[in-house]
Amino acid sequence: MTTTGDSRFTSDVYASRVSRAAQLTADAGFDALVVGPGPDLRYLTGSRANTFERLTALVIPASGTPRIVVARLEVPSLKASAVGDLGIEVCDWVDGQDAYALALDGLGARPRLAVSDAMPALHVVPIAQRSSATPALATAVLRELRMIKDTSEIDALREAGAAIDRVHARMGEWLRVGRTEREVAADIADAIVSEGHTGAEFVIVGSGPNGADPHHEYSDRTITADDVVVIDIGGPVEPGYNSDSTRTYSFAEPSGEIADAYAALQSAQQQAVAAVRPGVTAESVDAAARDVLRGAGLAEKFIHRTGHGIGLSVHEEPYIVAGNDIELRSGMAFSVEPGVYFSGQWGARIEDIVVVTDDGCEALNTRPHGLTVL
C-alpha cells in the first residue's frame, strides 16, 4: 500500500473515492466522468499531475475499470503518485496517436460525459466533439463527495489553520511603518512556508486605501503610521489542504469612526459563525453577517459574499452567499469572512475557516479578532 506522503491518506482512501465517484456517475446518468489534472484528480487519486497540451485524463466509467490516459513521457511522474495502486488501468499514448479516442474507447458511439471543471478548452472541445451533447461539469457528480470532508481531511485543514495562525501571530516582526507592502508580503510568504505550508498560495497586504479593495494583492506603497492594514494569507499543507485567514492590523488605537465600523464587523463575523450548524442554509449564514452590518448602517460597505468552501481548492463549494439554499451538513468546511470597504480610505476583513460539527461548528483559526494594534 502506498501513500502520498501522509499516512492518513492511504491508497485505500483514494480507491474508495474512485468507486464512489463511479457510483455517482452512474446515478447521475452519465456514461463516464473525465477528470483532468487539478483538484478533482488530486481528490480521487492523490496525483499532482499538471495540465499540458498533451492529454492526461482519468476516465471513470459508470461501470467497468477506470483508466488513466497519459502521454508515455508523463507516466513516470504519474506513477510517483498513488495512481498505480488504485486498480486504475494506465493507458499510455505517444505523439501522433489520438488520445481523445483512447480516452473514450469502450464508452459507446456518443457517450454522455461529465468533465472536470479545471480541464482546459484545448481538451474539452475535442472530447465534446466525440460525445452525445455538451459535457456536464464534474461538479454535478463530485459536489457531494468533495463538500463533506472526512476526518483525515478535517485534520489536514486543522493543521493548515494552526499553521496560518502561527504566521499571523508573528505579524509584528514584518508589518512596520516605513516598509512597503511588497517587502512585508515577501517576509510573510517565507513565513507561510517556514510555519509548515508547502507554498504561499496568496498574500494580500492591503494598507490604507488598498485595504478597500478586497482582492488587492500588494504594491510598492509605503505603509504609514495611521494605516489600517488588511492581511489575508494562506497556502496548502500536505497533502494539499489549504489555509485562508484574514486579520486587520493598525499601529495605534483607531479613531471613533474606524473603531465603530470595526466593532460592527467583529460582531457580524461572530454572529455569522454562531449561525453555523447542520440544517441551516448557506445563505442564512450570509444573512447573519449582513444583518449586523445593515443594522450599523454599513450594508453598502460589505461588497462580497460571506464565504467559500475550502479544501484542496482555496475556493470551492459550498459558497456562503445569498441565493444558495443548500443545507449545511456536518463535515462541510468554509470561510466566514465579512468585510467593510471605504473606497479610497481604508478597509477591514475578519476571516476564519470553520467546519460544521453535529451541533454547531469548530473554528480552525483562533487568533484574536480585534483590530490588532502592533
Q: Does 317 bind Zn ion (CB under 5 A)?
A: no
Q: Does 232 bind Zn ion (CB under 5 A)?
A: yes
Give whichever of 14 and 334 is closer to Zn ion, judged by the CB atom.
Answer: 334
Q: Does 187 bind Zn ion (CB under 5 A)?
A: no
Residue selected from 74, 183, 244, 283 as contacting Zn ion according to rule CB under 5 A: 244
Residue selected from 116, 210, 335, 372 as contacting Zn ion according to rule CB under 5 A: 335
Q: Does 4 bind Zn ion (CB under 5 A)?
A: no
Using the contact rule CB under 5 A, the part of the chain among 156-164, 188-196, 242-250, 320-328 near Zn ion is 242-250
Which strands form 245-250's sheet, in the order they lie side by side?
202-207, 228-234, 245-250, 372-373
Residue pair 25/107 in contact by the 8 Å Cβ criterion: no
Give whichever of 230 and 371 is closer to Zn ion, judged by the CB atom.
Answer: 230
| Size of residue set near Zn ion by CB under 5 A | 5
Give whichever of 85 and 195 is closer to Zn ion, judged by the CB atom.
Answer: 195
Closest by Cα among 202, 241, 196 to 43: 241
- Residue 243 has phi, psi (to 5 degrees) of -100, 160
Locate 98 and state its grid cell: 489520438
Give whichever of 25 and 246 is closer to Zn ion, judged by the CB atom.
Answer: 246
Give whichever of 17 and 349 is closer to Zn ion, judged by the CB atom.
Answer: 349
Residue pair 53/122 in contact by the 8 Å Cβ criterion: yes
Closest by Cα among 102, 108, 122 to 59: 102
Residue pair 293/266 in contact by the 8 Å Cβ criterion: no
Interior angle at CA 39, CA 38 and CA 43, nearest 5: 125
Q: Does 165 bind Zn ion (CB under 5 A)?
A: no
Rounded least distance, CB 244 to Zn ion, Å: 4
Binding positions for Zn ion, rule: CB under 5 A: 232, 244, 246, 335, 351
